[in-house]
Structure 1
């Protein structure tokens, strides 16, 4: 009780106040007002800060902030301005007061003048404060209890009032201090508070030292520590005996008023509700006129237990049991039940009752009021029905079940009425030869069956039945009395036979305003829908529309998913989505089949890595890294290694899109191309054999041409040399003849050189094409072109390309020919390697001279260190089938680009071939238009490059 508490604070012999959790003062006692000269209004909120010494204000505000954050306050010394202008030092002590939820509700504080105390520290002064004297000064009975409910301390007022020693007070439940009629309720309430920590609040009678009992309002609040644990209970007992006597006088006055039946009836009849009273045993003694008007019963018929005839049979037993329980306990209560109106209709009412007690506390009578809650109950039923229907829709229940529940809800909400939902048959309506719609009954739990059969698939005429008329016209058909209707003669006859007296048919439309069905109501009495019923009907129609559209959308989605799954199975193509932010992957069923993984397994990148062939893992990770960094579409063809050892070839295409939240997501398709790759490999082998035969034939032709062209000059050289020897060996030597034969030898040598020069000219028919070339991209294109061949040969390529690699200027095709030649040479050097995996590392970087460098490192057989330069000589080879011109041509191409090509032996197995080209060099000068070797190789010569070094 706030007023009682304020009076208690006002009586404290010191400056006391109460404040909100943030430190805003709510109440100050008279000591504060006398000391500061400020009124209650001037001190409220933060007005009290004007009394604080300016040097202490910031410290004081920080003190409140800390106390609010921690939930308790320490002692603090501050200076307060007295009304005469002098400052005195005060010790501030504040305690937190919590509400029923354990939250900080307010502060109660006390300022203690310490200027008059002996000179010692504030902490020592606060330690010696006598708490007992403070609580003894409170003009009310205050007690402190332990957390488990035992009495810990009482103030002087309790000792003076009860007159018992402390040990006797500790046994309060047996000492007789509490009235015997109140002891059970007090014990139960106190036990409940101890167990739950909820505040204790009760009215009871306490015996005074002279044996007289007075009524007290007792309130106990828990005191909690920083861990929200109860450390003690503070119990305040306020004498309310005078108030109780006043209440008894009021009750007595009311009983005197009730003695005059006419006067009481005039008063009670003015109340907007059903008011009644009953004797202590529950027998009704009075009902007001509004009760009689509603039920059609007289007051005499309603007295005693006559009123129970109006209770709905389904609610009668529960209401009786509840009423008997209230009579036994003597407590107030409320119950919901349906009461019959004079016309036979039932409406829901909230029945409330409270006991009226006499001076001794016994129930003298019962007073009650019945409030009409039919509208609220209808709203609750409608909300519950909508929740059930939406739950069924979300769970994917059949449309017939959903609409059946809708019909049951309609029949509950609309009295004495059947309901039916007919749905437009889209397929039959579309294929129908006539011009109208086709309806089929989807739900009719309690509607007359004869009417439904007449309305089903009976053509499109509006004259067939009202259901068809509503569907065709796309407009409500409302007939309040079928006996006065002339349309639908056959249907109307059946309806009247079935007890139907009215028809309300309303079209169900989609969001596109197309008719999807009809909701039909069959009242069993002539009726027109009321405004409230029209609102309900509109809601029911909307729910039916949602259910039908959801069912059709689900059916279309299922059909689409079935088509997609079949198409994926036929094309051996699976799909998956990959969210880059969280690496979430969602796969289609066909994707699970391709990976040969159970659909219950959650797909992850680790799972994909487990399925990727070990030799392709590095290139696959590199592809994903490149796709993740700039975020762009990509395409890749890795191999999959199944648990049984089977190898699958797949083609992956991924398209990047942002999702609804703006996060990047790849939509990818994976096609199993194993059969195609096997066929391609078979075809490639056949083509390779044909190409080999063509190269052999071509080389034979070239060899024959060289032999034919060079044979004559060589024969002349031999003949002239022999003649020269004979002439020099003659006696005397024929010097002049020998000189002439030597000249002819030189001539024939030049002829042979010209033949060779003409043959080399076949390889140089055009100049290089200068452009900016990204060696990273050029190398990736070459790798993509030969990746399949490398996989067939068991070679695993590991690209390691430098980021932001500068471009070079040159002929892209020729540089790719060099890269291709180095990769093929490295692969061939590993053909005979079987004791270790075949690995090839391709790297790009910018070297110390700021040139762009590309290196191909293998772990094959390598070469002798002394052959490191001869490898680049024309026609020098270390292979049985090589021609020895590939590296020579490659070096020529690199040198034409002002670069350098060289080879080195690895510290481990294998060798490294690499070249470097200056970055950004201008090659537009005429000097760069000189022909390069191997510029226009014919097809046989291009195939021959695979046999180069």
Structure 2
């Protein structure tokens, strides 16, 4: 076991060994090498350090200067080096170890030490040669690439559909999480896969051909193919391949986006089956049919076509076609006539109201036994709605593209100390700054002075806690106008969980802010109570009207109290159940009594709906109005109606109303009994006349005329015919309630007298 000295000793001269001349020649050779070289004896003691090595550590001594490992290697790496050296020495084979070594400035840089044993030759004893290679820049570059790879993988993982990244040679470089989950493999496993492992055999040739052609031409490709899922099932995907180029136009990598179109494909297949069936039926029994002679002239049209376009027989179809579509339609029609092939064309045709609508015209030839065309049958489909839908879809797609290209969010990133590292072009354009002006803390000059302190405090708290956060502040636009933005920021962590960068997005909320102010004004001025109640009953927010209902002056006196305490004790359990249903996601309404702070009891009607609160919980958003007066009026009305019904029953009186304008008649139950008509049946003047004694019919006619002329408050005595040829004497009293409704009461004041006419 070799012992090593832990302290740092000053260099000292070594004694000249035997064979010094030969070693001097070898030293000259090693000094000429553009590398750091030393050798040691079998015990690991350094015997020679070449000039390049001495220069790198800042020692200007001679070859006789003695070095120890502690003079060269970072003390923190000495134990690691000694352990590796002993392992190499024990194996008697070449080896290597990476340690940090002192340089001319006293700093430590990573070096790769390659150790190789040398056998004794002539007068040179056996030794170990050590070559040191500076790998500090390489390790830093590798770390930079690793971080970029992590950032790149995070970026592709944000895409919600499967995404694969390949090199220009077609090798798999990366897949996002949705792709790994779909295929059920790791990235390393998928790197070894071929297209034939994932693409359906029936789609493989077309898929490969599309990719090869895209790689050859350097253009994007779009192909539909089925891809095997982790469970072995295949699903249809629309694969979009796009090249990523550098500034010189060279392709750096390919992005392959997989959009699931399984449902669309199933729908298309089902639609294709239905279209085949429908086409067969329509070919057999077509609608809007036209009949043409062998020269292409319209000779007849069915009823539907005639009604649609006012087509008389033998009218030239060109007269119905839009002038801009005549030449194209006629050219295609003539081509079909000459070739004897079916005709299909889209054109605008005039319909019965004189307007033009898009149609799809199809015409097929009818052959005789010899195969000669004797007639053409055509059918026309109205595709105006389809055309409009296509136009609307195209416009929608254009608008979507414009929206994507002009998303009004301001993206940025910051270092761990909080200074801005990157601002997006949209952000810079908004501020009217260059990147050099905005990075660091330059962008804060655009923050509104009233918001700066609060924004800075929130930002510093996020940096200290290493947690995502958000804040609202105003930013000055390039033209000097301040607008409200929502700042959202999240940390990026390394494999150890340490924050290495911050990413943020600022969203313009100016309109929302103004809308919130308007909403608050509306809520505060509405005469009804608007409130937010937490699940435990705590009042979170309430407007001025709610404070008034609670019997206090200000809403702040209600916030924080438990609303259940205001509910009358006998209604409290029912209100709790209602509140729990609302906080579980249901809407509802409820009437209950409220006892306010001054002891006043009022009857309330509330309408409530669930609302997601800022903390993520569901709370009750309720609108409550005081309906005490309405409730009291309803109670009085019900009591009056009950008294009226009881009085009519005791007095053998009934009443009915008649709306003169419509003839509608509504009877009371007592009147049905007086006239001995089935209760609930519809009553007309004819039925009433049939029950009136003939001698009294003139009175009925006069009564109707009086009511139609607006006369009020009069009485008639009538006799009513009832069963068994008996009669009842009745008094009809009329009261005109309003212009269109008349109320009449009837009283049967005699007993039933059978046989009296």
In the superposition, the TM-score normalised over structure 2's length comes to 0.29
Q: Higher Cα Rg: structure 1 or 2? A: 1
* Structure ranking higher in strand proportion: 2
Task: Give the alignment's TM-score, normalised by structure 1.
Answer: 0.24
